[in-house]
Structures are given as structure tokens and as C-alpha cells.
Amino acid sequence: MNQNATEPVAAAESLAEVPEHVLRGLPEEVRLFPSAVDKTRIGVWATKPILKGKKFGPFVGDKKKRSQVKNNVYMWEVYYPNLGWMCIDATDPEKGNWLRYVNWACSGEEQNLFPLEINRAIYYKTLKPIAPGEELLVWYNGEDNPEIAAAIEEERASARSKRSSPKSRKGKKKSQESKNKANKAEDTPLKTSEPDSASANMRDSAEATVSAWRPGVLLQPPRTSPGSVGMSRRRLQPSSRDPSSKSRHLACSLTAPEVTWSQ
Ligand SMILES: C[S@+](CC[C@H](N)C(=O)[O-])C[C@H]1O[C@@H](n2cnc3c(N)ncnc32)[C@H](O)[C@@H]1O
């Protein structure tokens, strides 16, 4: 019996299907080409050198409740203190941006990006310099990697200094005054039981946080907890629910010889 017969076959993505707005939003150092880690996927490739510490983002997608998300592959879960876990879902290419096409790394050596949550938005930051001809590959390893912990601390410090700058304090005071006015005028409380993107956006601007997810923070048991995977481990484990995990394990390499790089 063919054991693969029951496995879902992921439809191959084609470059021709990538929405115009995604192509327009690509930073100048990267282009989309077929991925080397998963033949059915498009990947993001450096065409110019990218420095260590470069931050890309935010990751764009539909804001949804967990129960509304059908597929894990293109979504990030973010915790809102008052709302619980919400998802940024870029399953629909029309709703996402180019970061949707950045694939998981297969190993610690291949990882060149890590995700970073700032104010409930996801950014990808480079862990090392990326040379032209390399595919951008992200992995989540929380703050277990000292380099990532340092980068997160740097972001926290910068968020703190922005918050305490006189300009920001003035802006905050003004926005609090106008919020008070609006609340008085409408006299309606904020909706918290049914989270929607409008109330989520309001909270976005309310306070600044920077985090990488820690294993203990992950709520969904079926998802492999990548936070428990350190850099010392050779093979990383993609999410157990990703349909394409297997193929990605088999086909990891970082250069695509068929691609010529325009400088
Ligand atoms: C958009 S990310 C990276 C996806 C990448 N395009 C790929 O190749 O699969 C999606 C993955 O991150 C996982 N994930 C989502 N939210 C997470 C979180 N808060 N902490 C850790 N992993 C998360 C999902 O389970 C999923 O496997």
C-alpha cells in the first residue's frame, strides 16, 4: 500500500501567483524564488548583503481568534494580556506581506532570522550577516540563544528609552486626554469578551513590550514547542501540525544554483 496516499499533498506555490502588493513591498536586498528547503514553497532570498541585526517587519496578516485559524503554517500567535491569544494569519497571500514567504530553518546552522514580538506585532531580525544567494530562514528558539537574548534586551532598552523620551511622554498625555474625552462622550466600555481587530489595535498602542516566546508561554499542546530547542541541537523540529514538515526535513540546502542574482 502506498503510505503516502493519505497524506495531504501541499499544492506547489508559484511565483506567478504572488500578489502585486507583496512584490512591491519587498525590501531591496531580497527577492522571491523557489525555496531550497521546501520544493512546494516560494522562499525569500538575499540578493544583496544583509547586515546582522537588521529588523524586518511587521509580519502582516488577518487578526483572528485561534478558533478561526485553519492552518498553522502562515500564522503567528500573540498574547494580549486582556484578550488572550490572537493570531496574525497570512494564509491568504492577499492578506499577508513578503514575510509570509520566509520558511522555517531545518537546523540551527541554517537559521539566520529569529522572530521578535514588539507591541503585539511580529518582526524578524537577522542573527548573522546574510550573503547574496542565501535563503532567509527563520526559527523560533526563545531566549535560549544568548545572541537572541541580547538582541531582545537591546529592543527592550530601545523601547524603554522611546517611552521615557519627553516627546513620547507628551504624546501619551495628549492621547490619554483625548481618550478620556471620547469615553465621556460615548460612555461605552471597551469590548473585551469578543476580541476584534479594532480593540486589539487600541491595546497595541497602549503599552510597549518586547518578547520572544518562552516554552512555558506556549498554550497550544499539539504544537511542538520550538522554544525548547537550543542551538546545539542539529535538527530543528518544524511545527508538528505543518503539513509540509516532512519534506522540509529532507531537502535542506541554502543555495539555489538555478537562480542568478541581480545586484
Ligand atoms: C509564520 S511561522 C513560520 C512559518 C514558516 N513560513 C514555515 O515555513 O512554516 C508559523 C509557525 O510558527 C508557529 N507559531 C505560531 N505562533 C507561535 C508562537 N507564539 N510561539 C511559537 N511558535 C509559534 C506555528 O505553529 C507555525 O508552525
pLDDT of residue 27: 98
Does the beta carbon of 223 lie inside 6 Å of ligand 1?
yes
Lowest mean pLDDT among 98-102, 166-170, 187-191, 247-251: 187-191
Is there a contact between 243 and 10 (Cβ–Cβ < 8 Å)?
yes
Does the beta carbon of 213 lie inside 6 Å of ligand 1?
yes
pLDDT band at 74 (very low <50, low <70, confident <90, very high): very high
C-alpha separations of 86 from 61, 77, 116, 142, 238 in Å: 12, 6, 16, 19, 21
Whole-prediction pTM value?
A: 0.70
Q: How far is the centre of ligand 1, averaged over its atoms, from the C-alpha of 238 (Å)?
A: 8
Residue 172, number of CB atoms within 10 A of its CB: 14
State the average pLDDT over residues 31-39: 96
Lowest mean pLDDT among 69-73, 98-102, 163-167, 190-194: 190-194
**Which residues have C-beta within 8 Å of that of residue 120, sequence separation ≥ 6?**
78, 80, 86, 200, 203, 204, 209
Contacts 24+ apart (CB under 8 A), 228-233: 229/139, 229/141, 229/144, 230/108, 230/141, 230/144, 230/145, 231/108, 231/111, 231/141, 231/144, 231/145, 232/108, 233/108
Question: Is 76 or 260 the better-scoring residue by pLDDT?
Answer: 76
Does the beta carbon of 244 lie inside 6 Å of ligand 1?
no
Residue 46: pLDDT over 60: yes
Question: What is d(CA 213, CA 217) in angstroms, rounded to the nearest whole number?
Answer: 6
Residue 42: pLDDT over 50: yes
pLDDT digits (tens, 9 = 90+) for 2-13: 555 555 666 789
Residue 154, number of CB atoms within 10 A of its CB: 13
pLDDT digits (tens, 9 = 90+) for 131-175: 999 999 999 876 778 888 888 888 888 888 887 887 766 666 666
Residue 225: pLDDT over 60: no
State the average pLDDT over residues 69-93: 93
pLDDT digits (tens, 9 = 90+) for 174-208: 666 655 554 443 332 222 223 333 333 333 333 45
Q: Which of 89, 104, 136, 245 has the most ligand 1 atoms within 8 A of CB, as the residue to mutate?
A: 104
- Which residue's CA is the nearest one to ligand 1's atom 12? 76
Q: Which of 32, 40, 223, 240 has the most ligand 1 atoms within 8 A of CB, as the residue to mutate?
A: 223
Q: How far is the centre of ligand 1, averaged over its atoms, from the C-alpha of 72 (Å)?
A: 7
Is there a contact between 25 and 98 (Cβ–Cβ < 8 Å)?
yes
